[in-house]
Structure 1
Amino acid sequence: MKSALTHLPVWARRSPLRHWLLIASLSSSLAVAEVRMWTDVSGRKVEAELVMMQGEFVYLKTQDGKTHPFPLTRLSADDIALARRLTPPAPSGVAAARPVNLTLEQAAERLDRVVEAHLKAKGIKPNPPLNDEQFVRRLYLQTVGRIPKYEEAMAFIADKDRNKRAKLTDQLLTSPGHTSHLFNYYADMLRLKTRVSEYISGAAYNRWVKQAVAENKPYDVMVREMMTASGNTQTNPAAGYLLRDSGMLLDNLSVTSQVFLGTDISCAQCHDHPFDDWTQKQFYHLAAYFGSTRSAPDYGMLKQGLADRGLAWRDNLTLVAEADKFQPIDPLVKPAVQRFLHASAHHITENPKSVMKLPHDYQYKDGTPGEVVEPKVLFGNAPDLTKFDNRRAAFAHWLTADDNPRFAITVANRLWKRAFGRAVVEPVTDVNDLSTAAIPGLVQLLGEEMKRLRYDIREFERLLYRTRAWQRESSLVSIAPGASYDFPGPLLRRLTAEQIWDSVLTLILEDPDYFNGQRDYTEWEKLYSMDRGTVTGKELTERYAKLVELSSKDGGLFGWPREDESMRPSGSPLYIDPRIKAWRLYGDVLVRASEITQPTGGGHLLRNLGQSDRELVDASVMTGSVPISLALMNGRGSQVITKPGSRLMNVVDQHKADGPKVEAVFLSILSRLPSPDERSAAYKTIRQGGKNGFADVAWALLNTREFLFVQ
């Protein structure tokens, strides 16, 4: 029998909207559904049954069992009226309209009902609930990115309050550790770098992202500010998003689409997508919203800006020559001074005369090389350009609008993966086909919750961690490529590089958050804010000298000062470096991963553990390897953890008897008490090792898989 899909109109077969599919099984129990002929405004017909209406789309199930979204605007008036009259109720657990007054418990219950109904339908038994020991460890790792301290684990386990889980969640989500940990996630997603290039600093932008997390700025507001920012990062730090890919706005657009729309159109930048419906012309239509934007130094616009103020532009060579007269510059240093000047010229500007054109090698019949393209969106409702100051502002409005069918779903799907180890729709950068969703209707419900909460990321996290689904034991399964996961509980997964690093800090230092926010790049970055109409050779000389001084004093923007071994106390590898007021362990600076240069340099433990180099979106690695095992077994950090003076050994020394000492080691590292067999093995190790026996027990636990994984 010929597939009914062959009868679909061309606009339905070719449009990328065909990927906004609902799982066909959603309609399998709808008694009102019947097969009938549907007609579009051009008279083309398709035989299908109505599944549901959602927003501006009607979902029709064709005879081949597939469900397709049809824009209401393309259906005949009679069919639109019929669809509205026959629209069946939404699937169980998914509300057709967005409730606005749900309590947190009611919202969590809605999510759990969808998950549990799916498990029941498939005959899958949910994983057992977490006990308190498992919960406290998972919650600390999930919210603040580190294991709980001994006292924190003890206090929670001993607490008899029925609401203690909710209270601890609320406490941790508003702590400095949460800011640090969520920043690490954004850093991987947004490819944050302290040093973007030889010319561009990312420090101010990174600080802006961290501040946005700390103040819980709504996600849609944060994204709009990044998309619409102009100027440089010293005057408008959000401009760092576009300056991250200075001079490569098309590449930046590909990243934007992946990160915020869950739509991978990167192939279409050079040619029609081989596996999807995106065409190269569609890519350029979307890029036309940035046709007038410049992210590399646009000297013409900068000169015009000065001319409007009655000032003349002072070029690099003239300024360097003037500085050389004021104070002779070593010929080998002059290129560096010129690069310093060039760096100060990086601004996001708008040139209204610029337009987007098809590339010179464009080869398709729907356009010609060099043809001007007008801005068009990929899906959803196009913004009215007359209502915005520029096209980029219109793009930002469309991107973050509630009626954009991808924005809320994409971030909600991302955060579900962050909490459960697996997204509802994989991969998170390409959610075109919702028919691949692991649980029908769940990702739509998550998107609705994100909008209901007005893109409050902290509140959305609180919702996920309140669910029964999240508070179940992890599944010890390996998901084959292309296979789905049914979420009887979160997936067992390895700690991120940052979680391992920050957990090691927790076992060494009394307060792993002691340095958060202490390193201030403001003075350093102000040096780049030069008014090119008034700056003099003398001022340039002074600014560059200050740059050299700061770099020498604290490593400047791109690192830390070299270790001065004369500052290290005799017999103690762990000490405070007075220059930076931070703990050092041999050469390593012991601060949270979020406070270190982004990303760390090659050879640093964080990179060995899988921290991303920040060249690609979500490029961190969380698989095991021999170098990772060796780094933990033989690294300086694990050696110091088991030495007198570390936080762990201080906790052990607080107890007199061997039993409490052993319990302190287990609670500090694994957040649980030892089993009888483990206790017996620990006592044996202590008898054989004497005073060093407790250090041997700690070292053994640090090198277990249990320490390395989120249970």
Structure 2
Amino acid sequence: MMFRKAISLLLVVFAATTVRAQEIAVPGSVTVQPAAIEIKHQRHPHTLQVLGASVDGFALDLRTQAKYASADPKIASVDAEGWVRPIANGSTQITVNVAGVTKTVAVKVQLPPTEPPMSFRHEVMPVLSRGGCNSGGCHGYSLGKNGFKLSLRGADPDLDFLAITRDSMTRRLNFQSPETSLLLSKPAGDSPHEGGVRFARNSLSYEIVNKWIQQGAPGDLADKAEVVSVRLLPDKLVLKPGQKHRVQLIAQYDNGVSRDVTRLGILTANNNQYADVEGEGMVVAGDPGETAIVARFERVFAATSVMVLKADAKFTATPAPQDSFIDKHVIEKLNRLKITPSPLANDEEFLRRVHLDLIGIQPKPDEIKAFLADKDAKKRDKLIDTLFARSEFIDHWSLKWGDLLQNSRTSASQPSVYLFREWIRGAVSSNLPMDEFARKILTARGGAADDPASVYFAISKDTNDTLERATQVFCGVRMLCARCHSHPLENWTQADYYGLASFFNQVSIRPDIRAPQGVQNAKFIQLNLAVGNSGNPRSGRPQPPKFLGGDEPKLALNVDRREAYANWLTTPKNPFFARGLVNRYWSYFFHRGIIEPVDDIRSTNPPINPELLDALTKDFLDAKFDVRHLMKRIITSATYQRSSIPTASNKHDEQNFSHTIPRRIPAEALLDSLIQATAVPENFPGAPAGFRAAQLPDANSENAFLRLFGKSQRMEACECERDNGSNMLQALHFLNGKAIQARVVNPNGRAGILAREKKTDQQVVTELYLWSIARHPSDAEMKVASEFLKRHSERRAEAVQDLFWVLLNSRDFMLVH
């Protein structure tokens, strides 16, 4: 009996040990970050990240399992969680032991002779930000809350210091009894507070504010040290659902100080379905998927990617191709995600897709048959060059740039709009390099007859509108928020905004007195070279020109400052221009950009595949901003040519390009394809007969179909102006709308012609399929359709119309797939 009890107890212990061993995976590798630490302040301890990777690729947080020892505890101590604290000046090292691996970290301590007082700017302000006290919903609101106003998200430390220490006779601070100060008692929950508890009494935040008040609330506004960057460690994580992993936030100051600010930074997840952040940097994995952890400290941002995957021992990695850097980076990412890509699309699927994406119209039956009959292994590559030479290519891409540049009779005269349109068409036709394209637009002057590109400035409401449009289109960056306050999701300030404005504020717009009588809205762009810089409302002083995220250039007086902006914009070293264009063009061939939205590039919206975006950008620069080179590079990749039919492992993937995600055809391409399929033209008011929707000069078209299907109105420099979504009204329009019905039943249309021709049922079915959805019917489809025509042979014309109507209402016609 005793023996059986002992065996039972041993089995329980063994089972518990087994569970623990499964929970704590054996690392395949171990690293410690950072490799060296330099501490220059008594109150700024620094933690170590002990990172492991399991043999199947998952990240392991080994910090609490590791054993730490300081070579000289009189210089720096280290606790059981890896926090290194300074004791005295000197150098030592910390030894880290975990899973049989030993690592050392060099530590250098350089403390000032006396400990400086608490810093309002670098300690108290971060506490207020972390607690949300200066957010837009609290005291950062434009009118404040309950008589207490702080600058939005800590944009103005000087103002906040005065509001706390001087406003309302210093009622928020009690130097005799600091713990009863309203600045402490309200956020700690000791006094009634509409905002609730913002930090606990035993927290670092409470300790900082309490000690600052004890010291007499000293100011350090003369200390101009600024955070120049922050970074999250590790820079990427692969976790299992429910797994936890701590991240670390490091701030780098312009005086050379590097500081661990994990406990004072603001860390959030872009999508908390896949991961969330608890406490002081603890990432908790959720459902399988991918998101970014975004960190903010002193108005500077950083992000790290988090993948959440289920372990899959049966997964077989796809070999990464070496002949295409696009496929290489996509496949490497898919392998990390344990996703198998779909196979390549067949020739018919590829042919239709590339026609719609490159020239905005479906292939005709003769083109389909010829392509299928072509046995050349390079026929897909050669097709791209053929489509580049088509007039529809010019129509299609001129339309896109007309949208982005907002060329519209709403803002400019009709002759000006036509001249600008022809200028854009000329640039597309000649494959004008994108750096020259941007430069010609941004430095244009005169009237439309002198320089059609000057219409770009004529469209702007004012200088602010110009800088916002230019930055959004040519940099992929949205600056509107920074007009009034620091950007809530990026490092841009009002100095950045009005620094950009100073490049453009020499531009003035006046009526073009040379315009013929009766021409409305004709404008002339002139420069006032002597005009001063734009005023910065925050500083109350003129703001010198300032490159976005860069320096204030030294410019001579009375020069066109736009030239300096164009030089900066188009230099290969510019971090925005080539990258933004590559991302935008990628989105035109897929369902999304590598960064999405494509015109909202920021550090808190990281690319889904940064290696891919970097490689594409380098290739675009090497090709001297040749956009056709970029298009061909994308289209010839296996990534673009993949089928839209998902595999078992990629059916839930909508962002890593493992298969083609079907997308609705844009309004103009849909209408032009409908016209071609039915052989019934559209009459556009004011346009010559035979005009295609893609050839319309602007959005001022009285066409209900185009409006319903989301044609851009060219009111904003944003891809979001075009609505490529689907809705019930669109479905009803195809089912019952006159535009569809009239085309289908038109006796001189496609269905009428085929019904009268002496063709077999199978031939008619094939022609209907080729004209409507640009592919041959399957055997099953042929059987059903031909039997339908045979059953209704006595009313053949109507039966052909019914079949055609069904095909035009199918997803195969409406979608790029």
Q: TM-score, normalised by structure 2?
A: 0.59
CA contact (8 A) 2:46 2:260 kept: no
Q: Could you list the structure 1 runs, at least 4 aligned residues long, displaced by more than 6 angstroms after superposition.
A: 1-7, 9-13, 37-41, 62-69
Hey, what's the Cα distance between the residues in 1 that align with 2:528 and 2:785?
70
- In the alignment, residue 294 of structure 1 is paired with which amino acid? S
Q: 2:235 aligns with which of 4, 10, 24?
A: 24
Q: Greater share of helix residues, 1 or 2? A: 1
Deviation at 1:457, TM superposition (A): 1.0
The alignment yields a C-alpha RMSD, in angstroms, of 4.0
CA contact (8 A) 1:108 1:464 kept: no
Secondary structure at the residue paired with 1:207? Answer: helix
Q: How has the CA–CA distance of structure 1 residues 272 and 696 changed in structure 2, closer, same or farther, with 3 Å as cutoff? A: same
Q: How has the CA–CA distance of structure 1 residues 13 and 592 changed in structure 2, closer, same or farther, with 3 Å as cutoff? A: farther
User: Does 2:331 match 1:161?
Assistant: no
Deviation at 1:40, TM superposition (A): 6.7
CA contact (8 A) 1:208 1:237 kept: yes
Hey, what's the Cα distance between the residues in 1 that align with 2:333 and 2:621?
24
Structure 1 counterpart of 2:480: 266
Structure 1 counterpart of 2:806: 700
Where do residues 103-502 of structure 1 align in structure 2 (5 Å cutoff)?
109-197=324-412, 201-245=416-460, 247-297=461-511, 340=519, 343-344=521-522, 346-358=523-535, 362=537, 364=538, 367-368=539-540, 371-380=541-550, 385-386=555-556, 389-433=559-603, 436-474=606-644, 485-502=655-672
Structure 2 counterpart of 1:665: 768
Structure 2 counterpart of 1:311: none
- In the alignment, residue 232 of structure 1 is paired with which amino acid? G
**1:24-74 superposed Cα distances (whole Å, 9 cap, x missing partner):** 23999xxxxxx9x998762423479xxxxxxxxxxxxx99999999xxxxx
**1:126-147 superposed Cα distances (whole Å, 9 cap, x missing partner):** 0121011111111111111111
Worse-matched range after superposition: 455-464 or 437-446: 437-446
Q: 2:780 aligns with which of 665, 669, 677?
A: 677
CA contact (8 A) 2:230 2:251 kept: no
Hey, what's the Cα distance between the residues in 2 that align with 1:27 and 1:676?
45
Structure 2 counterpart of 1:624: 726
- In the alignment, residue 598 of structure 1 is paired with which amino acid? D
Bigger CA radius of gyration: 2
Q: How has the CA–CA distance of structure 1 residues 432 and 108 changed in structure 2, closer, same or farther, with 3 Å as cutoff? A: farther
Structure 2 counterpart of 1:614: 714
- In the alignment, residue 609 of structure 1 is paired with which amino acid? F
Hey, what's the Cα distance between the residues in 2 that align with 1:22 and 1:181?
44
Hey, what's the Cα distance between the residues in 2 that align with 1:174 and 1:315?
37
Structure 2 counterpart of 1:504: 674
Q: TM-score, normalised by structure 1?
A: 0.68
**1:682-705 superposed Cα distances (whole Å, 9 cap, x missing partner):** 123312242322221111100112
Q: How has the CA–CA distance of structure 1 residues 155 and 13 changed in structure 2, closer, same or farther, with 3 Å as cutoff? A: farther
Deviation at 1:471, TM superposition (A): 0.4
Deviation at 1:198, TM superposition (A): 6.6
User: Does 2:748 match 1:645?
Assistant: yes
Q: How has the CA–CA distance of structure 1 residues 476 and 601 changed in structure 2, closer, same or farther, with 3 Å as cutoff? A: farther
Deviation at 1:431, TM superposition (A): 1.1
Where do residues 57-136 of structure 1 align in structure 2 (5 Å cutoff)?
109-136=324-351
Q: How has the CA–CA distance of structure 1 residues 3 and 184 changed in structure 2, closer, same or farther, with 3 Å as cutoff? A: farther
Deviation at 1:604, TM superposition (A): 2.6
Hey, what's the Cα distance between the residues in 1 that align with 2:762 and 2:344?
28
CA contact (8 A) 1:124 1:488 kept: yes
Where do residues 521-536 of structure 1 align in structure 2 (5 Å cutoff)?
none
Q: How has the CA–CA distance of structure 1 residues 68 and 597 changed in structure 2, closer, same or farther, with 3 Å as cutoff? A: closer
Q: How has the CA–CA distance of structure 1 residues 664 and 343 changed in structure 2, closer, same or farther, with 3 Å as cutoff? A: closer
Tell me the matched-pair count. 535
Q: How has the CA–CA distance of structure 1 residues 655 and 450 changed in structure 2, closer, same or farther, with 3 Å as cutoff? A: farther
- In the alignment, residue 148 of structure 1 is paired with which amino acid? P
- In the alignment, residue 469 of structure 2 is paired with which amino acid? V
Hey, what's the Cα distance between the residues in 1 that align with 2:532 and 2:48?
43
Q: How has the CA–CA distance of structure 1 residues 118 and 406 changed in structure 2, closer, same or farther, with 3 Å as cutoff? A: same
User: Does 2:797 match 1:691?
Assistant: yes
Bigger relative CO (Cα 8 Å, ≥ 6 apart):
1
Structure 2 counterpart of 1:44: 257
**1:584-630 superposed Cα distances (whole Å, 9 cap, x missing partner):** xxxxxxx2223224114355311111101111222111111222123
Secondary structure at the residue paired with 2:535? Answer: coil
Hey, what's the Cα distance between the residues in 2 that align with 1:625 and 1:27?
37
Worse-matched range after superposition: 484-493 or 404-413: 484-493
**1:416-470 superposed Cα distances (whole Å, 9 cap, x missing partner):** 1111111111111111127622123111111111111111111111110000000
Question: What are structure 1's unaligned runs of at least 5 residues?
Answer: 29-34, 49-61, 70-105, 303-313, 317-335, 478-482, 516-554, 562-579, 584-590
Hey, what's the Cα distance between the residues in 1 that align with 2:553 and 2:334?
41
- In the alignment, residue 167 of structure 1 is paired with which amino acid? K
CA contact (8 A) 2:407 2:421 kept: yes
- In the alignment, residue 661 of structure 1 is paired with which amino acid? V
Hey, what's the Cα distance between the residues in 1 that align with 2:233 and 2:425?
36
- In the alignment, residue 355 of structure 1 is paired with which amino acid? G
CA contact (8 A) 2:360 2:669 kept: yes
Deviation at 1:678, TM superposition (A): 2.0
Q: How has the CA–CA distance of structure 1 residues 419 and 3 changed in structure 2, closer, same or farther, with 3 Å as cutoff? A: farther
**1:218-272 superposed Cα distances (whole Å, 9 cap, x missing partner):** 1111010000001011110010111111x41211211111111111111112333
CA contact (8 A) 1:504 1:638 kept: no
Deviation at 1:636, TM superposition (A): 2.8
Q: How has the CA–CA distance of structure 1 residues 315 and 652 changed in structure 2, closer, same or farther, with 3 Å as cutoff? A: closer
CA contact (8 A) 1:382 1:398 kept: no
Question: What are structure 2's unaligned runs of at least 5 residues?
Answer: 1-44, 50-121, 127-222, 240-247, 262-279, 284-291, 296-320, 648-652
Identity %: 27
Q: How has the CA–CA distance of structure 1 residues 354 and 172 changed in structure 2, closer, same or farther, with 3 Å as cutoff? A: same
Hey, what's the Cα distance between the residues in 1 that align with 2:597 and 2:656?
15
CA contact (8 A) 1:3 1:64 kept: no
CA contact (8 A) 1:381 1:398 kept: no
Where do residues 540-619 of structure 1 align in structure 2 (5 Å cutoff)?
560-561=685-686, 582-583=689-690, 591-616=691-716, 617-618=718-719, 619=721
Q: How has the CA–CA distance of structure 1 residues 434 and 279 changed in structure 2, closer, same or farther, with 3 Å as cutoff? A: closer
CA contact (8 A) 2:356 2:669 kept: yes
Q: Greater share of strand residues, 1 or 2? A: 2
Structure 2 counterpart of 1:78: none
CA contact (8 A) 1:497 1:611 kept: yes
